[in-house]
A and B are shown apart, each in its own frame.
Chain A
Amino acid sequence: MSRVVYDGTPIEYEPGDSLAIAALRAGQHPARGGTLCLAGDCGNCSAIVDGTPWVRTCQTEARPGAMVQRHPNGSHPSPGGPEHHTQVTVRHRSADHVVIGNGDSGAAAAAALRSEGHDVLVLDEADGDEVVGVFDGPSIIVRRNDGIEHFHVHHITLATGAAEVHPVCPGNLLAGIFTPKAAAKVQAAGLDLGNVVTVGAELKAFHGEGRVSEVELVDGSRVSCDNVIVNLGSAPRDVLARMAPLVPVQIVGPAAEAHALPAAPQEGVLCPCGKITVEDLDGVWNKGFHDLELVKRSSLCGTGTCQGAVCMPHLRSFVADRSGVEPKPFTARPAARQVSMAEAAAGYHIDTFRRTPLHGEHTKLGATLDKFGGWFRPWNYGDAVSEYWAVREGVSLGDVSTLGKMMVSGPDVVEALERLYPNHVHDIKVGRSRYVINLNERGHVLDDGMICREGDTRFLLTFTSGGASTAEMWVRDWVETWGLKVHVLDRTVSHGAINVTGPLAGELLRRAGVSDDDRPKFLQHRHIDVAGIPCHVMRLSFTGEASFELHHQIDQSVELWQALMELGAPLGIKPHGLQALFGLRLEKGHVIVGQDTELDSTPRRINMDWAVKLEKDAFVGRDALIRTASLPDERRLFGFTMDGPAPLEGSVIRVNGDVVGHVTSSWDSPMYGHAVLMGWQKRLPHADVVEIDGREARVSAVPFYDKEGARARM
């Protein structure tokens, strides 16, 4: 005989034994107690097998040297170690008709479908295809020994049969209790159940120490025994059918038949997964939870590993007894069988984080890269403060390739943009640009960016890096809704962009072959060669200094970057990362949509009414802004200054001890030697002095730096 190790003790098994049968052969319960169905329906035989918890030992064939441990008494097992989190192969397959279950009814259903000319795939646990989930789609998740399979199917027939009903009464967690089919399996394996008693609805309680030694019947009599077979009938094995209520699943055979509910439970553990008792259910019932779903959610009965396979008939009977109405079964959640984290994650990927064409340059320069707005971006190049001073006093490069960029063209483009944006568009001259915000229908700020006019019927729009991915949908959706003729092309991943910024930015461009006459003035944009590379140069400023965004084809990004770094070396050029940029723009009072704004921030709340022209006939959000303009509004974004180190972003802002808002942006300003911040006050009257981190902070007008905006125009 071969051996497995159960709780550190070698036990022998016969060929073909499951681990549960092997345990029973050694005189042990495979877990710690509870009715055994040996059909995979309940979790009463679950144990840790070779380090993986929640394995149903009745469904797991014994193999030499298998290490089995019972779950800890009274608590859940820890997840398996790293060795159990290895990658699991996933295969995606398609099928027309899938029949789950190859018993009599499944085989008949498959035969009938094939006779009608359908292509039919039959999945059955006995063949190693363990269906663990049914999802909308429809799709079916199947666990096999060699990995996970995702089936994309058109029609599902469920022929999973019926499960035997477990007893609910005092003592039902003892060892030595079997359903009739489980007892038959045990006896077929050659095990002697000794003095075995068979009971049905007359059962009242089990008695014994660790395992059953007496059965008490409703008439008060007691019967001594070694093991008990409990025959309470069966219930549909419908966990998979209850998983995706929107999926049209055809149920056949015993799984589709009506089964009488057992008598209402009076005492004992009703949900063996969560050890939830009838007394627990009485507690939630008395609190007023009377709907089956509410009883389930408030007691957690039915949310365990079997998803109601064991407790459902009793729970329905409990509710029917007390309410007088027999409730329908509740929804089940995947997985129908326990799966490992690796199995659950098979085939799923983390979000794609894109790289700019300058990724390699940043790496070479020693940048610390971080993930922002769906991109890898340089956080700093080792010294954010020196990067800051390069922008304020010299010249610096920033990789802004991640900005959203969109070409729009067409006979109706001006009309479309006038309706999209709250600012005027028609009067933007060719070669000029304008800052704009985007609003939704409720007047809340979605994003911001620039409009650059390229021709009478052609514009380039920019958006924030984080907003770029939804910008195209936003523009297309509105243009199609209005039925306007506008072509839209997202250029975000096709165009690189380098921001040349600082008081010496103009000098660097001069050294790169751009004459003073060709260099665009503030809010102008031009197509010119820079260092011999065709660029669309936009003059604007986010840092507060003179800035030129050089937009170009991505295959020339590295060449342009390297040329500018080389030409700028005598000027002390340094690249800057996001850490410095966030501080620079904060000193200038520029908000970052999504960081300084909230989902319901209106232009008024962020002090940007100036970017809204309510005199326009129509634009997205106009009606909402007009309606809310006359309403009192306590929320305002403020600038603050405070001594000492800058508080963490997200810090609470208090007035007289009461929370009134939080810090959205925070920076130790090298320029001023104190912290500059932005944050919300959401309660009137707005205070001039607030408390942050137990320190005093004073409201300060923004921008903190260069209030006249002269430096951006240098």
Chain B
Amino acid sequence: MGQVSAAREQSHNKPEGIELFLLRLKKKVCSVDPYLTFAGIGLWLFVYWVLCEGLEIWRFNKLPGPVAISKDWFSTTPFQGISIFTETYYDHIRVSCQRILIAFGLATGLGVPLGLFMGWSRPIRDYIFPIIETLRPIPILAWVPLSILLLPGFEGPVIFLATLASFFVTTLNAMLGVDSIDEEYFRAAGCLGSSRWDVFRHVVVPGALPFIFTGLQISIGVAWFSLVAAEMVSGDLGLGYLIVDAYMNNVTVPMVIAMITLGFIGYFSSACVRALGNKLMAWHVKELAQQGR
């Protein structure tokens, strides 16, 4: 298999750019994977429809089914107020995304350096790690009252809560990332005449990157999770607020629309983090590819 593809690479020029994209697309369409995905989605929607609209099973008949939702979602005059044509829908999305960007940015900007320093320097770890380990298990909802007391307005507490949750994940992963680096790389760096700062820049940071990005993927999920929780408790706009607001007003369609929207945006945001990680860690991607993964 490896020999065949190597031979092909030699006999033809390697495809690049749009050509490479088309080649990959063709391979993808010819393989079974995308059809399995479609079949999975189809099956899921069908079961959902049968439960809520087809047979109207007890308790499920209170929920809006796929037909009712899509009718409203894509209608210019939605029955329950929210659709892709109403401005408020985008207001909620925009506000939530803004908050996530700020929270995730803060958590990453603070958590990654802190974690790296904790992994790199024993004294720093001894100072900070016990405190972080004590604060980390406190559920994010338990922070809600404190954050409302501490910070003014709606925006402050919501962003604080989302930041806090993802900060812990990021810090811990960055620290473990440094721990995961093989001792021999530090020795090699020492032999080659590195200063302590060189070691940090050339060994600690790149060596911890795979762990950091694993952490960031979890942390962006956690950020969404705590953001929505915070918006449900203390908020004026945002998808979390929309869900609670719709529930309070007894309109169930916008509630489910907001949930599905959250799902899509969450998926998209982790994909972005993953893509960024793959871009920064070409060496890691190529190494895994060499192992056939």
B is a partner of A: no
What is A's interface to B at a CB cutoff of 8 Å?
A: none
What is B's interface to A at a CB cutoff of 8 Å?
A: none
